[in-house]
Amino acid sequence: MRKKVRLFCIAVMLLISGGLPMHSAVAASKPTYTISPASKTYKNKMMNFSTYNTHTKHYYLLRSYLEQLEKKGGGTLVLKKGTYTISNTLYVPSNVTIKMKDGVKLVKGNKTGTSQFVAAKSMFQLIRPSKSSKKGVYGKHNGEKNISFIGEGNVTIDMNYIKDGIAIIMGHNKNVNVENIQFRNMYSGHFIEMDASDHVMVRKNTFMDSKASQNVNKEAINLDTPDKSTQGWSQTWSKFDKTANKNVTIEHNTFKNLDRAVGTHKYSEAKYHDKVVIQNNKIEKTRSDAIRVMNWSNAQIRNNTIKNVENGKEDTRGILVSGAINPTIKNNTFQKVGRTVQLMAWKNSGPGSEYRVTYNELNQQNKLDLTNNVAKDTAEMFIRINYQYNEFLLSTERIFLVTK
């Protein structure tokens, strides 16, 4: 205890003298725990539970340390090489970094070996363990903050084709980083579900392989709002206040063999995901629109390569845009895509259909930027803008592209 106090005092002195940045001083006071698949739980807690068995042992292992990190106000959990089978949801508190070493593989388990509870659909949810079972805990962007998932080397999160499974669910969060992880084997869920979150960075990851969902519209990264009407968010710890995401950057990732790479498929009326940046990504072999923009304001989609959307079928789109305000879409390359970009008015069907039609709002610079996209082996060499809802002939404007 005296040693920890001494280290903290040294960190504070260095901070005051200018020798240590603020985040390093804070980190100096937080613990780091290192585990392997063979590790016991923190101080052997939970190992005497009747539900502790070969199917749940890794769930309890990580859970025990995450609960300890909540008590400590944060810290780092280092996972050493090996396979961890995660049967149930792990809740992550603020100020926590989960660092995965080369050779780590997290696999979504579908068995618990007990009749007391079934395997969960999600792997991680970004809420502190002590509040995870409570109702209406967080609204706006006031939930957990400063959370990172960092892969070092070859690191995989395998969703094992569990139907409706989701690897990471974030909601009402701030300052979240997901970096250098291979996400694989999705089925009708999402790899990342992002609601009501502010300052999110997703970079240098691979999102690969999914089974087709019923409507072929499940995004690897889904941007949504916590809205009971649209039924896209079901976490009871949320206030369901329809807060949108903002300041989201998705860059230098690879997406392959999916329904969609990034997008929104239901909107909350007059709620806009603001300042979403999608740049320098490689997207290949999607069954539907590679990127689906819906109620995004001030988005920037640039320098991405989009190839092979449903084998270049004539009426498929690389980027489909609805309800966008001031979108910048430029310097993207489209190859073997039916339509490169299409902008159209839209209305929710089914859940959320009570909301009014959402329209795009483009200025002249937005239209000029659209000309700076490149089309290769595409069915159409222009961008369609449809101004009226459900009208695709009389209200269409065409913006022609660079061709190669």
Q: What single-letter DSSP state applies at residue 348?
A: -
- Say yes or no to pLDDT of 6 above 70: no
Asked whether the beta carbons of 140 and 241 are under 8 A apart, the reply is yes
**Whole-angstrom distance, CA of residue 298 vs CA of residue 261:** 20
Could you tell me if 345 and 386 are in contact, meaning their C-beta atoms sit under 8 angstroms apart?
yes
Position 25 pLDDT exceeds 50: no
Q: How confident is the model at residue 24 (pLDDT cuts 50, 70, 90)?
A: very low
Phi, psi dihedrals of residue 215, rounded to the nearest 5° = -100, 5
The two beta strands, 328-330 and 166-171, are: unpaired
35: three-class secondary structure by DSSP: strand
Average pLDDT (291-299) is 98
In the numeric block, which tokens belong to residue 329?
């879409």
C-alpha to C-alpha distance for 166 and 219, rounded to whole angstroms: 11
Q: What is the mean pLDDT of residues 336-360?
A: 97
Query: CA geometry: angle at 380 spanning 258 and 266, to 5°?
Result: 45
- 104-108, 187-191, 313-317, 390-394 — which is least confidently predicted? 390-394
| pLDDT interval class at 174 (50, 70, 90) | very high
Find out whether 278 and 301 touch, Cβ atoms under 8 Å: yes
Report which of residues 398 and 393 the model is more confident about. Answer: 398
* pLDDT value for 404: 59
- List, for residues 113-132, the tens digit of each pLDDT value: 999 999 999 999 999 999 99
Mean pLDDT for the chain overall:
93
For residue range 31-42, what is the model confidence (pLDDT) as tens digits?
A: 999 999 999 999
Identity (one letter) of the amino acid at 312?
G
At 10 the pLDDT is: 46
Residue 163 pLDDT grade (very low, low, confident, very high; cuts 50, 70, 90): very high
Where b means 16+ CB within 10 Å and e means fewer, 364-378 reads eebeebbeebbbeeb
Give the model's pLDDT for residue 315: 87
Q: What is the mean pLDDT of residues 372-378?
A: 94
Q: What is the pLDDT of residue 18?
A: 45
The pLDDT tens digits of the residues spanning 239-275 come to: 999 999 999 999 999 999 999 999 999 999 999 999 9
DSSP bridge partners of 276: 248
DSSP string over 48-106 = TSTT-STTTHHHHHHHHHHHHHHHHT-EEEEEPSEEEEE-SPEE--TTEEEEE-TTEEE
Q: What is the pLDDT of residues 210-237, one digit of tens each?
A: 999 999 999 999 999 999 999 999 999 9
pLDDT-based confidence at 19, cuts 50/70/90? very low
pLDDT in tens, 60-86: 999 999 999 999 999 999 999 999 999
Rounded to an integer, the average pLDDT of 42-58 is 98
Pick the more confident residue, 20 or 74.
74
8 Å CB contact between 144 and 112: no
Please report, rounded to a whole number, the percentage of residues in the chain having pLDDT higher than 70.
Answer: 92
Tell me how many helices (H) and strands (E) the chain has: 4, 33
Distances (CA, A) of 132 to 90, 92, 93, 147, 261: 10, 9, 10, 16, 29
pLDDT band at 26 (very low <50, low <70, confident <90, very high): very low
Q: Going by C-beta distance under 8 Å and a sequence separation of 6 or more, which residues neighbour residue 279?
A: 249, 250, 251, 300, 301, 302, 303, 304
Residue with tokens 């997207």: 283
Rounded to whole angstroms, the Cα distance separating 141 from 243 reads: 8
Percent above pLDDT 90 for the chain: 89
Residue 14 has a pLDDT of 44
Give residue 403's pLDDT: 65
